[in-house]
Amino acid sequence: MKKRVFSGARPTARQHIGNLLGAIDSYVKLQKEYDCLYCIVDIHALTTLQDTSQIQNNIHELALDWLAAGLDPQKSIIFVQSHVPEVTELHTYLSMVTPLSWLLRVPTFKEKVKLHPDNVNYGLVGYPVLMTSDIVLYKAEVVPVGEDQLPHLELAREIARRFNTLFGEIFPEPKAKLTSFPLIPGLDGKNKMSKEIENSVIEIAATAEDTRTKIMSAVTDPARKYRKDPGHPEVCNIYTLHKYFSASQVADIGKQCYVAEIGCVDCKKLLAKNMNEALKSLRERRAELAAKPEYIKEVLADGADRARVIARETIKEVKQKMGLI
Ligand code: SF4
């Protein structure tokens, strides 16, 4: 039997290039080797989303991005978190074995408090417990993650281990599978590409013109004030993106940047051209799928049905172990 993979994405906005390089491309490859569950984690979105008016639309758009990028519903279970309510039941049980001190030390909790100081809710603290429930409900053994998510996964392993110690072995301890492009910088030049940071992202579904406009206004090496200034490609987000979209040219771009043979304007134009070419067929597939909204609904309904078969079995085992039945 193949090992199971679980991963999820929050439907808080459209997926961007950072998601594509850092996660979705890996999801597509993992389908060959593993039984994969890919989940649109709408309950997680509620921890920071107070206005939920766009959540259904975001779920639809996220499913479109995934399917257009190559997630295959024949190979993988693609579903929405809240369509499998067993996950919230398991979250409650796991909450009882998770010390609060473990949750308060998670670095992303502190970051979220800074980003959303007016909405520090109970769900935000318990986010890693719900994330653990997502993974162990399906007894997933492998979780594709970026480096920044490693503390969350370590916590998931600790929670699973604690449950197993207290009540008996049920859950495999999930292992991280680091993606090959772990951290994609944002266009603002400082941070990880993130939908929570303004002017940081290029959406997968953006038009070619939008893509070009965003790249042309991106921040580059701050030491390069004038065209004649030598650059430092290793600190430049545009250069990082060239590594992916201009693989055959990236070594030359680096050398030319160091000695100011190439200017940032030309460098950005080249990236925009290469990125638009690389995304052309994905964007065309996405447009075809967008014309079939019923098909997207069917994929998600079928995914939830298949996920629930596994989830119900796990919940039964958990309740037996805990003495609830
Ligand atoms: Fe970055 Fe390219 Fe400018 Fe060098 S030339 S600083 S790699 S945008």
Q: Which of 228, 267, 268, 271 is the best mutation target for the ligand 1 pocket, counting ligand atoms within 8 Å of the beta carbon and taking the most?
A: 267
Q: Which of 187, 188, 220 is the best mutation target for the ligand 1 pocket, counting ligand atoms within 8 Å of the beta carbon and taking the most?
A: 220
Mean pLDDT over 306-319 rounds to 98
**Token pair belonging to 260:** 């100011």
Provide the annotated active-site residues. 112, 192, 195
Q: What is the Cα–Cα distance from 117 to 111, expressed in whole angstroms?
A: 10
**Above 90 in pLDDT, residue 138?**
yes
Mean pLDDT over 198-212 rounds to 90
pLDDT digits (tens, 9 = 90+) for 237-281: 999 999 999 999 999 999 999 999 999 999 999 999 999 999 999
CA of 130 to the centre of ligand 1 (A): 41
**Token pair belonging to 307:** 């996920």
Helices (H), the chain: 17-19, 25-33, 42-45, 55-69, 86-95, 100-104, 107-115, 122-125, 127-137, 150-167, 208-216, 237-245, 250-258, 264-290, 293-322
Q: Letter for the amino acid at 5? A: V
**Above 70 in pLDDT, residue 181?**
no
The pLDDT-based confidence of 194 (bands split at 50, 70, 90) is confident
Q: Percentage of the chain with pLDDT > 90?
A: 74
- For ligand 1, atom 3: residue with the closest CA: 264
**Above 70 in pLDDT, residue 191?**
no
CA of 251 to the centre of ligand 1 (A): 12
pTM of the model: 0.90
CA of 324 to the centre of ligand 1 (A): 61
* CB under 8 A, 24+ apart: contacts of 178-181: 178/144, 178/145, 178/146, 178/147, 179/22, 179/23, 179/25, 179/26, 179/144, 179/145, 179/146, 180/26, 181/21, 181/22, 181/25, 181/244
**Above 70 in pLDDT, residue 17?**
yes
pLDDT of residue 290: 97
Ligand 1 nearest atom to the CA of residue 254, by list position: 7
Mean pLDDT over 140-147 rounds to 90
Q: What is the Cα–Cα distance from 256 to 185, expressed in whole angstroms?
A: 21
- For ligand 1, atom 5: residue with the closest CA: 264
Ligand 1 proximal residues by C-beta, below 6 Å: 220-221, 224, 231, 233, 236, 238-239, 253, 257, 262, 264, 267-268
CA of 278 to the centre of ligand 1 (A): 20
Ligand 1 nearest atom to the CA of residue 263, by list position: 5
Mean pLDDT over 129-141 rounds to 97
pLDDT of residue 62: 97
Mean pLDDT of the chain: 92
Instruction: Give me the domains of the chain, ranges plus CATH numbers.
Output: 4-184+293-321 (3.40.50.620), 208-287 (1.10.240.10)
Ligand 1 nearest atom to the CA of residue 264, by list position: 3
Ligand 1 nearest atom to the CA of residue 236, by list position: 1
CA of 207 to the centre of ligand 1 (A): 23
Find the range with the poorest average confidence among 141-145, 191-195, 202-206: 191-195
**Token pair belonging to 27:** 């999801």
